[in-house]
Amino acid sequence: MSTLDDQAKESTDEAAVESTEAIQDNGTGGYIILFFILGFIASLLVGWIAFPMALYSKKEQPVAFNHALHMDEVENGCESCHFFRDDGSYSGVPKLEQCIECHEEVQGDNENEAHFVSEYVEKEREVPWLIYSKQPDCVFFSHAAHVLKAKMDCVTCHGPVGEMESLPVYEENRITGYSREVWGKNIAGLKKNSWDRMKMDDCADCHKESNNKVTSVQTEKDACFVCHK
């Protein structure tokens, strides 16, 4: 009897040990899963929030500019300040000589106007504007081809700038030196509007869509040499 009792006791002890080990194993597995989830969340926070904050520096434009106000005052809209020259080239950001035509003296009592006149007009200094749409030197973009020939609206690439009463904060990539407007605000690369970013893929998609509309004529819009010189 004692032998049977001893065997039964040993079996019970072994079962208890196995049960304890199983509980310990399950506990270890739970910790692993918990650490994985916490690590995954931390990676998202760093990659989606902390990294962009560290990657981009925020800068204010040297002069506060009200596009909406100017659109109400000028006759030809955007083309009053951003125009095509006689040779077809695009003027881009206005030079001081253009601004002086209307702002040689302070108009009204606006502090921004006074600052512009005193710091740039009177000193004959060009305004060091920060360019949101600046592209690498190897990229060639023809405004004439897109605006005059393709009849594209400026809003397609630049958004409703003419409605803005103040310029957005300029976010500069600390590594490349380019504006965040080029890469896009959404770090995942998603966009809602055509003007949300200015990457090569966006240009290619627009060209592809345009080419699909041309069935009778073979175009070279997608050739590398068209945009890259």
**How far does CA 59 lie from the centroid of its chain?**
15
pLDDT of the residue at 75: 83
- Residue 139 and residue 211: Cα distance in Å, rounded? 21
User: What is the pTM (predicted TM-score) of this model?
Assistant: 0.74
pLDDT of the residue at 19: 53
pLDDT score of 24 more than 60: no
* Over residues 75-95, mean pLDDT: 90
pLDDT of the residue at 218: 45
**Cβ partners under 8 Å of residue 181, min gap 6:** 132, 133, 171, 197, 198
pLDDT score of 118 more than 50: yes
pLDDT score of 49 more than 80: no
Closest-CA residue to 66 (of 182, 143, 167): 167
Give me the torsion for CA of 199, 203, 208, 213, rounded to 10°: 150
Q: pLDDT tens-digit profile of 165-223?
A: 999 999 999 999 999 999 898 877 889 999 999 999 999 888 888 777 654 444 555 67
* Over residues 29-52, mean pLDDT: 78
**Residues 229, 140: contact at Cβ < 8 Å?**
yes
Token code pair at residue 78: 């955007």
pLDDT score of 78 more than 50: yes
**Cβ partners under 8 Å of residue 167, min gap 6:** 61, 64, 65, 67
pLDDT band at 34 (very low <50, low <70, confident <90, very high): confident
How many CB atoms within 10 Å of residue 200?
Answer: 12
